[in-house]
A and B are shown apart, each in its own frame.
Chain A
Amino acid sequence: MKKKQKNILPRKSNTLKLSFDTSWTYAPAPESRTSATIQPRYDLFINGKWTKPESGKYFETINPANEETLSEIAEANAADVNKAVAAARNAYEKYWKKLPAKERGKYIFRIARMMQEKSRELAIIESLDGGKPIRESRDFDIPEAANHFFYYAGWADKLDYAFPGKKTASLGVAGQIIPWNFPLLMAAWKIAPALATGNTVVLKPAETTPLTALKLAELIQEADLPPGVVNIITGAGETGAALVQHPDINKIAFTGSTEVGKMILRAVAGTNKKLTLELGGKAANIIFEDAPLDQAVEGIINGIFFNQGHVCCAGSRLYIQESVANTVIRKLKDRIETLIVGDPLDKNTDIGAINSKKQLETIHYYIKTGIQEGAEIYESSCRLPSKGFWCKPTLFLNVAQSSRIAQEEIFGPVLAILTFRTDDEVIEKANNTPYGLSAGVWTDKGSRIFNMTRKMRAGVVWANTYNKFDPTSPFGGYKESGFGREGGLHGLMPYLHLSNLIPNSTRK
């Protein structure tokens, strides 16, 4: 009897705690700012020219890491939006629509190439304006953006092969609104497929991160793209609303919060505007006991702390199988101690600045809510810079499924940790959310991977990896995470009108 009891005692993990407590420190390794040129003021990019805003107003864009002003940005009002849409319409009817597809493709290839040439400058500006670590903007955002243009360029003259039985036609003018978390990459995700399919574009970047989109406008000018094919206008919510409501727009593409997405959905009701929405998420990242735990811990860290957690597909709900919960949590606590939080331009930085004061307030609100709801908080002991917007990597333990920090999107470096016992239980818990953008599964068992990935009601499922993206890989959500796909062959469809190759004859 005694022996039996001994056997059911929890087995001690034989992994040793990694020793991070040495005096090892990293010397500062900042990227030089000098290779980036930022104008003191940017106007609107309409019809191939820099145009003063009708509103006469400008707003400041700041560096969230030190709150210093980087530049003044024009604020487009409804009249400016009107100008931009007219330019896009004109370019569409008079030029872009008639241009042979392969020539269209060559323009897009040219943009991709020039983006690669300027990648260093773009990376620096991306980190300055948005607060993300230079390692991420240099190794992920900018190359992925260039690759996206390169990928879609090749589609321009191959659309006949994309959709069997269908003839394709462009839609016209696309109005595109993008968020602040991946400013240039999101611009590429929007512009590249729109141009490849023969549409012209009015793009509005987010008000806190307009600089790389404006640098893209400079690049497009240099690339000699016909005037009006791409127009880039800046402003906040009102500018976006004017764009959505403009009657001469054929297509709206939006990436951002579910709340704004629903407003857009209501605004386009009763019109013929085609719509794609890429909205919020609250992804489950599921760790089974047979998973390679050290790899899984890296995946969890990457899943929630990549880009300060400002990722719609962030793995913000962690489900750990009970038998390994203590081990995984201990490893996670150890691991977040090693994360370097600080200067986004430093090449050693893991976690940069929170994008804006407003977002920091949202994150703080949810941290407070989590504590009030009875979850146990664990933060990294790192020191935060005195100026700028910062948040320590944060874990919440003992989180209830119904807790707001397990249900609502926080969009910051805050991980809610929950546990489970069986496969069926975790499938139900993971799917118990109005969102359905992404999910992660960690296990060594192939058949379990396929059971899990099939049953996740989410558009992107990462198995034994997390937060991977590629121009060829369709991305987008189920349920309230939106509809339509970006990337890959599927990403062409939202920008095309498909008609039957079969004649509409009445059957005998």
Chain B
Amino acid sequence: MEKTTVKKSSLSVSENGLERKKGKKRLEVLKTYKIYINGQFLRTESGRYYQPVNAAGEKLANVCLCSRKDFRDAVVAARSAFGGWSSRPALNRGQILYRMAEMLEGRKAQFVEELQRQDVSKTKAEKEVLLTVDRLIYYAGWCDKYQQIFSTVNPVSGSYFNFSVPEPTGVVSIIAPQDYPLLGLVSVMAPAIAGGNTCILLASEKKPLCAITLAETLHASDLPPGVVNILTGKLSELIKWFAEHMDVNATVFCENDVETQKMLKEKSALNVKRMIFYDNIKWETEQGQSPYFIFDLQETKTTWHPIENIGFGGGAY
């Protein structure tokens, strides 16, 4: 009680109304970490929160403990954003991903500091942030190229023009890797949206801070509302909704946890959801990026059209 009083009195208000520190330290302004749904920063509808703690025992922040309803709201947002995002010019999607990288680059220090607060060493934190920026640029470049890698013109017998192209699977629910709270999340988010999908991400449970700060940079990157939605909360509580929802087309899960994988796959049968497991990927390596991550969240559409032979040209054209 005594101590608190002392601390409070370490601040006083000067004559001209400005705060002035008596001691060396200025009182820190704590950030409220809100979830990101449909381009808005919201509190969870449940009103619940949790306080992740770092190794030193410091409480990191009050973080939203999202509910099933938050997830459902996010799916509605993602579904309404899908048509617009998937039919945007690929070049434009690339430019928005590049813009994300630019915005992240400008806020490197903030992410490094946040990672450090979440028990990542300075060297590793710096490396993770730089890799994250580069990974966004990597996928920015793929936005208008993967289609050419994965498309075919099929030499069918008979007089038809026939081609196959990748198209986004739709709404993707993603449980971001628990390790690499920033790089991991971006490594699974970027291929999803580069390919025209919209997504709902669940941030690392123990290290959720960067995910929300990332949402703020995404928000300033011309990303349309609803394309990326970021939730925080308990993995064990939310995971089954991620796999059960009937308007989700695919789910990505990154932990090497056989029991959970089994549960997810069983749930996926409800609407034949595409269930994608990245349980053995080292996100900090070259292995962590590839156009095949984009292709995993694509459907292949084949289109046929007759070719009519008109006239008498025969072979002479």
Residues of A within 8 A of B (CB): 147, 164-166, 258, 261-263, 265-266, 268-270, 277, 279, 434, 449, 453-454, 456-465, 468, 470, 472-476, 478-483, 485, 488-490, 498, 500, 502-507
Contact = CB atoms under 8 A, between A and B. Distances in A.
Given A268-B265, A506-B285, A507-B286, A468 B160 contact: yes
Given A468-B158, A470-B154, A449 B305 contact: yes
Contact of B154 (A164, A473, A479, A500): A473
B160 to A, nearest CB: 6
Among B258, B265, B284, residue most surrounded by chain A Cβ atoms (within 10 Å): B265
Contacts of B299: 459, 478
Contact of B265 (A166, A265, A472, A482): A265
A266 B160 contact: no
A488 B164 contact: yes
B77 to A, nearest CB: 19
25 contacts: A165-B290, A166-B292, A262-B272, A269-B262, A269-B263, A269-B269, A277-B272, A453-B301, A458-B301, A461-B302, A463-B303, A463-B304, A470-B154, A473-B154, A473-B302, A474-B152, A474-B300, A478-B299, A479-B249, A482-B272, A485-B300, A498-B292, A502-B286, A506-B282, A507-B286
A399 to B, nearest CB: 24
B265 A489 contact: no
Contacts of A502: 286-287
- 5 smallest A-B Cβ distances: which pairs? A270-B262, A269-B265, A470-B156, A265-B269, A262-B269
Interface in B112-156: 131, 149, 152, 154-156
Interface of B is mostly: mixed
Contacts of A481: 272
A330 B306 CA distance: 26
Interface of B: 87, 131, 149, 152, 154-158, 160, 162, 164, 167, 169-170, 249, 258-259, 261-266, 268-272, 274, 282, 284-287, 290-292, 299-306
Given A479-B271, A488-B154, A504 B285 contact: yes
Contact of A474 (B158, B160, B164, B169): B164
Contacts of A268: 265
A489 B155 CA distance: 11
A500 B287 contact: yes
A262 B164 CA distance: 26
A473 to B, nearest CB: 5
Nearest to A484: B300
Nearest to A463: B305
